[in-house]
Amino acid sequence: MVALSAVLPTPAHADDNEPVETAVPPRVELVLDVSGSMRAADIDGRTRISVAQQAFNEVVDALPDGTELGIRVLGATYKGKDKTEGCKDTQQIVPVAPVDRAAAKNAIAALRPTGFTPVGLALRGAAEDLGTGETTRRIILITDGEDTCAPPDPCDVARELAAKGTHLVVDTLGLAPDDKVRRQLLCIAGATGGTYASAETPAELTGRIKQLVDRAKDTTTVKTPALVAGGKECAGAPLLAPGVYTDREKISEHRWYRVPVRDDQELRASVSIALDRPVNPDYGVLLRATAADGRELVRGTDAGSGRTDVLSTGLRWSALEPDVESEPSTDGPVKPTEVCLVISNSFAGSTANDAPGMPFELTIDVVATSPAPDAPGLGSGWLLLLVLTIAGLLTGVLAGWLTRWWVATWRTN
């Protein structure tokens, strides 16, 4: 191991070039429909609101400490018949903060089905409640009916939230087997990258909510890519270890990096470049792996011609491929091949060339190689042809002999 460490190049690190992971507590807001239809007693003989309250209580008990939970209701306070007033009826009854179990349970227990169903307005309010940030935040909408107050249409609101790029996901749960409700909830979830599910028993509702709240934990780790500055050519470019890196590239610029790859390893790399300024139509990003002498090993491309916020591409290359061969070594372990990665673009626009480059993320991994099985070669084809030829000749001779024997026997008889 000491000898190996002596010959392996040490990849350059920006602050050790390790992505910084910051644990961020899950941020979730439960949005509950408390409109008059929630009084219906059709879930195992119980009212929809009582089932929802029980599910909420069980979920609150199971929440991990530190979870930031908020609760918003709709149709919970206005008892009149004025639709204009009733369609404004949405309130946050528990602010988004580290969960206070007692306060959350008390707020839920006091709910009584009352009014209209302003789903679209409630979704806008929930988005404001959760605020902004770099991590995904989740809204869990539980309702038994479609919006009765549009505009705003809840599907349009969901699209509006998604267009803002605020990392906001809306998951929906339907409490009534109604096709119109199902279509509306599917539309809301689909627009924001969320999920839709129906719940027809108390156990199903509790399980679904727990599952969705638990899913929020998977999207709250912030990984800060390591800053790195690519070179203008392969020679002298930064040597990178597996990890996630961020850099900037100007229009028509090339950025170079080096990655050591042993003979028994496979390089996997991808790049995503964000278009943070107007550019002319027909553009692309190119990621290439080259040998140190400039020979191209493999490339990956992505292109666009309209409105595209991010372009991404990737590549794979194994040192077992015949493009680059390591020199045999007689005095120790084989030195890894240095593969050069170059990122380039074909953007054009009116922005001055001295403007800051467009941001991109470069992800690099080096894993044990897994070569694909060899396909039959030309030699195998000739061998098969020879076998078929011999088999054909033998079959012909045998068929001829049998035919002559049969003819001779027939004439004798």
Which one has a higher pLDDT value, 355 or 96? 96
Q: What contacts 311, CB < 8 A, 6 or more positions away?
A: 272, 273, 275, 283, 284, 285, 302, 303, 304
Nearest to 176 by CA among 210, 136, 145: 145
Computed over every residue of the chain, the mean pLDDT equals 80
Nearest to 25 by CA among 199, 200, 216, 237: 216
Q: In the structure, what pLDDT confidence band is assigned to residue 392 with cuts at 50, 70 and 90?
A: confident
H/E element holding 291?
A: none
In the β-sheet with 310-318, what is the strand arrangement from edge to edge? 226-227, 243-249, 358-368, 265-274, 310-318
Tokens for 1? Answer: 């191991």
Return the number of other C-beta atoms located less than 10 Å from residue 233's C-beta: 12
Q: Could you give the CA distance from residue 253 to residue 270 in angstroms, rounded to a whole number? A: 18
In the chain, DSSP finds a helix count (H) and a strand count (E) of 9, 17
- Asked if the model's pLDDT at residue 217 lies above 80, the reply is no
- Max avg pLDDT among 55-69, 224-238, 398-412: 224-238
Residues 220-265 have pLDDT tens digits of: 555 567 889 999 999 989 999 999 898 988 888 899 999 999 888 8
Which one has a higher pLDDT value, 203 or 7? 203
pTM: predicted TM-score of the whole model, two decimal places: 0.53
R_g (Cα) of the chain, nearest Å = 32
- Asked if the model's pLDDT at residue 41 lies above 80, the reply is yes
pLDDT at 127: 92
Q: Could you give the CA distance from residue 312 to residue 307 in angstroms, rounded to a whole number? A: 14
H/E element holding 58?
A: helix 48-62
Which one has a higher pLDDT value, 275 or 227? 227
359 prior amide bond cis, ω within 30: no
Mean pLDDT, to the nearest integer, of 389-405? 85
Helices 154-163 & 119-130 angle (0-180, nearest 10): 30
- Residue 21, class by beta-carbon neighbours within 10 Å (0-12 exposed, 13-18 middle, 19+ buried)? exposed
- Asked if the model's pLDDT at residue 123 lies above 90, the reply is yes
- Max avg pLDDT among 70-79, 191-200, 400-409: 70-79
Tokens for 198? Answer: 């129906």
Q: What is the DSSP letter of 157?
A: H
32 close to 117: Cβ distance less than 8 angstroms: no
Q: What domains sit in the chain, N to C, each tagged with a CATH number?
A: 7-18+225-368 (2.60.120.380), 25-219 (3.40.50.410)
Q: Could you give the CA distance from residue 302 to residue 285 in angstroms, rounded to a whole number? A: 6
3-state secondary structure of 207: helix
pLDDT at 23: 58
